[in-house]
Chains A and B, each alone.
Chain A
Amino acid sequence: MSDISIIGGGHASGKLVNNLHKLEFKGNINIFSEEEHLPYERPPLSKDFLYGSKKFEDFKIDINLEKVNYYFSTKINKIDFINKIIYDQNNNDYSYDKLVFANGSSPKRIFEENIEGVNYLRTLNDSVKIKSSIEISKDIILLGAGYISLEISSTIKKNYPNKEVTIIDNSEKILLRNSNDDLREFIFKYQKKNNVNFLFNTSFQKLIRNEDGSIKSLILDDNKILACDLLVVGIGVYPNTDILKGTMLEEKNGIKVNEYCETAVKDVFALGDVALSKNNFLNKHIREESWNNAEKQSDILAKNLTGTKTAYDEIPWFWTDQFDQNFQILGEINNFDNKILRNYSENKNTIIYFKNKKIIGAVAVNNGRDISIIRKIIKKNIVPNMEKIQNKDINLKELL
C-alpha cells in the first residue's frame, strides 16, 4: 500500500484523512500543517465562534493521531516531483508515493508588515485575536464588502448593537463576486436595518498610527479621516501556489485539477480552496472556496486514492448566515434569461434562475428546503412546469 502525503491541515485535509480511514486505507498518511491545531471547519470563524456561541471543539475535525503522522507547525517549502520528495522549512525531507495539495488560500494583504489593529481572518488564531479586539474597540472598520466582512459586521452587531461598524469598498456595491443584484438587495437590507455603515467608491490612501505603532485612523481617498482602532481586511484571497514556483505544476489561479482531483503530474492531487477544479455543471474550471467543496472533494478524492474512480459532480452551493438570516446560493445565478420569485413572506423567499427554460440556479432566503428540491431538479435534468413554479402555493416537490 502506498504512502500519502498531504500538504495542508484544513477542512479538506482533515476530512480526506477520515474518509481514507473509513475506506480502510492501510498505507501511511503524513499531514503537514502550518497550524498548531487539528483541522477544523472555517465557517464558524466569522460567525458562531466569533460570536461566542460555538467552541473550537464544536467544529474541529477529530483525527485519530495514532493512525497518521501529523506534522504540526510545519511548512513545506520545496517539492521535487521527479524524485517524489518534499522538504519542510528546516530542510527535512519526506518521500511520498502520492502527494495531495490541500493547502488552501491566504487573505490578500494591504501591508507586508504586521500592524497592531490590522487583522485578516483565515485561521482560528485570527478569529481569536479579532474577537478579543472587538471587545475593546470603539471604531471598527471592515475593508472590502465581501462575504467575510458582511458576516463579521453581523456578528459584531449581534454582540454589540451600539458599536460603530463601517464597511468600506472601492466599488459601488456589496458582494462583487459570487453574487447578483437580487442577493445583494436581500443582504444589504439586513445590513442597513442593523445600522452597519457603508462607504462605497472609496478606499484609504493612508493609515495613521499611534505612537506605539498601532492603528489610529484611516485617511480616505477624499481626505476624510476615519478614526479606527480595529481594521479587518477582507478584500479576497489568493490560492497558496507559491511553493509551486519554478516546478512543472506552476499555476497562478490555483492548482488545476480534473473532476477526479488529479493534477497534470502523475500521483499528485489537489482539492479544496487551492484547487482550480473542473466543474461539470458549469463546464469550466473554478475555485469554489466553499465548505461544500472541501467536504465533497475530500470524499471523492479518498475514493479515487483507494481505487474507486469517482468524479466530482457537485452543483456549486454555499451559504452565508447574517443577522440570523440564512442565504443560500446554488448553481449559476448570473447569465440567466428568466427568473421567478417565490415570495413566501417578508423573510422567506426563493428566486429561481432559468436559461433555455431549464433551471440553472437559485438564491434562497431562509428557505433551504427549496434549495434541496431545486438541486434535485437540476441534477435530474427536469424541464420544469413554469405555471407550477410561479404558484408559490404549489410545493416545488411536485416538480420532481
Chain B
Amino acid sequence: MSDNENWIKTYAVSDIDDEDVKEFQLPNGNKIAVYNINNTFYATDLFCTHEKVSLCEGFIDGDSIECPLHQGVFKISTGEVLESPPTEGLKTYITKIEENYIFVNVS
C-alpha cells in the first residue's frame, strides 16, 4: 500500500464541533472515532477495550474520553488507560488536515 493509500479522508474540519467526536467507518470495515479537541483532531478505535461499546456516546473531558457504559477513561491523544475497568489501551491513528479535511493514517 502506498503512503497515499494509507491516508483515509474522513470528515471536513467543520463537521466536528470542538470537544465532540464522530464515528467513521474505514474502507476495511473497522470503525474509528474522530475527535476535535480544541481544533486538534485525533482518531482512535471506536470501541472501548473493556466492552464493545461506542466511545462516541462517551463524555469528553479535556484530552480524555469516558466510556458511557462503565466509566473507563482513556487519554484521547495516546489511547492510554487513565481509569479502569479497561486494562488495554485504545489504538490511536495519526491524523493530518488537508484542504480542510481530516485524514487518518491506517498504516
Contacts and interface: CB of A to CB of B under 8 A. Distances in A.
Contact of B67 (A41, A317, A321, A368): A368
The secondary structure that dominates the A interface is: helix
A319 B59 contact: no
Contacts of B57: 367-369
A372 B69 contact: no
14 contacts: A41-B85, A319-B70, A367-B68, A368-B57, A368-B68, A368-B71, A369-B58, A369-B59, A369-B68, A371-B71, A372-B58, A372-B66, A372-B68, A397-B59
A390 interface: no
Contacts of A376: 61
Contacts of B70: 291, 319, 368
A372 B85 contact: no
B85 A295 contact: yes
A157 B51 CA distance: 20
A303 B68 CA distance: 28
Nearest to B68: A368
Interface residues of A, number: 16
Interface string B1-37: 0000000000000000001000000000000000000
Interface of B: 19, 57-59, 61, 66-71, 84-85
A324 B55 CA distance: 17
A188 B71 CA distance: 25
Chain B CB within 10 A, most for which of A41, A321, A369: A369
Contacts of A319: 69-70
Q: Please give me the 8 A-B residue pairs with the lowest Cβ-Cβ distance, nearest first.
A: A368-B68, A372-B59, A369-B59, A372-B66, A369-B68, A326-B69, A368-B69, A369-B57
Nearest to B73: A372
Interface in A201-224: none
A367 B69 CA distance: 8
Interface string A291-315: 1100100000000000000000000
Given A368-B57, A369-B68, 15 more contacts: A291-B70, A291-B85, A292-B71, A319-B69, A321-B69, A367-B57, A367-B68, A368-B59, A368-B71, A371-B71, A372-B58, A372-B59, A372-B66, A372-B68, A376-B61
Interface in A159-180: none
A235 interface: no
A295 B86 CA distance: 12
A244 interface: no
A226 interface: no
A39 to B, nearest CB: 14
Contacts of B58: 368-369, 372
Nearest to A58: B50
A372 B69 CA distance: 10
Contacts of A373: 59
A393 B61 CA distance: 20
Interface string A276-297: 0000000000000001100100
Contacts of B85: 41, 291, 295
A232 B69 CA distance: 27
Contacts of A41: 85
Contacts of B66: 368-369, 372
- Greatest chain B CB density within 10 A among A317, A319, A372, A373 is at A372
A292 B71 CA distance: 10
Contacts of B59: 368-369, 372-373, 397
Interface in A363-383: 367-369, 371-373, 376
